Amino acid sequence: MMPATNASAAPNAHNLPVVSDVATYQHQAQANPEAKLVDVKKLIPTIELDIRYATSVNVLGEPLYPNAVAFLRAPAAAALQQVQAALAAQGVGLVVFDAYRPYSVTVRFWNQIQDETYAAPPWRGSRHNRGCSVDVGLVDAAGQPLLMPTDFDDLTPAAHAAYEPVTAEVRRNRTLLLDTMAAFNFVNYPAEWWHFDFARWAEFELLDIPFSALAYPN
């Protein structure tokens, strides 16, 4: 495990350290390459993107990101690359709905939803803000979505990873996703079949770095 760096974040209004200064993030990424936010699509060209928060087709009904891109911390991105390779051997692949999420966007979610089951409160922040969470589904070899229990961001019990009853096809797809992600150190959040936290998330600080400050491709 590599230390983050001596450059760290000052606590915000919730007494929560959040890196919002671009120079601080760049210093951390230079000192520790594992801290870098990696462009997922550049690293894994075969992966599909369906970044709902760059559109108005999402739970808040408005665009939250300026670009349909996905970033993860370097080791999380490398692990996702292994997931994609394992799934490709079975003729399927991943579609990414969301990955790194700036802290300020998490605050916007909380202001609208205010339910800790489905939105991280500002006094805790989200593992998405650490660049260590990814929301994913499955697609077939032609890039068409496979059937899952619900659509992405369905805020109902039907989206829970253990929800029953579901059809045999849905159960098979859900199990394949859960098992393959788990094999490469991603832990599912039980209230959302699509949400996975990279096991090393606690090593990385919360970020509020805007997409505009990240080079894409990087």
Domain extent listing, the chain: 18-210
pTM of the model: 0.93
**Residue 2: per-residue pLDDT:** 39
Model pLDDT, residue 215 = 66
Taking the CA atoms of the chain, what radius of gyration do you get in angstroms?
17
Q: Give 98-157 pLDDT, tens digit per residue.
A: 999 999 999 999 999 988 888 899 999 999 999 999 999 999 999 999 999 999 999 999
pLDDT at 11 over 90: no
Average pLDDT over residues 154-179: 97
Q: pLDDT digit string (tens) for 184-217?
A: 999 999 999 999 999 999 999 999 999 989 865 4
> Which CATH code fits 18-210?
3.30.1380.10
Establish whether 140 is an annotated binding residue: no
Whether the pLDDT of residue 25 is over 60: the answer is yes
pLDDT of the residue at 216: 52
Q: Average pLDDT of the chain?
A: 93
For residue 14, say whether it is annotated as part of any ligand binding site.
no
Give the pLDDT band of residue 7 (cuts 50, 70, 90): low
Active site residues: 192
Residues of the chain above pLDDT 90, percent? 86
3-state secondary structure the chain: CCCCCCCCCCECCCCCEEECCHHHHHHHHHHCHHHCEEEHHHHCCCCEECCHHHCCCCCCCCCCCCCCCCEEEHHHHHHHHHHHHHHHCCCEEEEEEECCCCHHHHHHHHHHHCCCCCCCCCCCCCCCCCCCEEEEEEEECCCCECCCCCCCCCCCHHHCCCCCCCCHHHHHHHHHHHHHHHHCCEEECCCCCCEEEECCHHHCCEECCCHHHCCCCC
| pLDDT for res 171 | 98
> How many residues are recorded in the chain?
218
Instruction: Average the pLDDT over 170-189 and give the result.
Output: 98
Q: What is the arithmetic mean of pLDDT over 30-53?
A: 97
| Mean local confidence (pLDDT), 4-8 | 50
Query: Given pLDDT bands bounded at 50, 70 and 90, which one contains residue 165?
Result: very high
Please report which confidence band the pLDDT of residue 9 belongs to, taking 50, 70 and 90 as the band edges.
Answer: confident
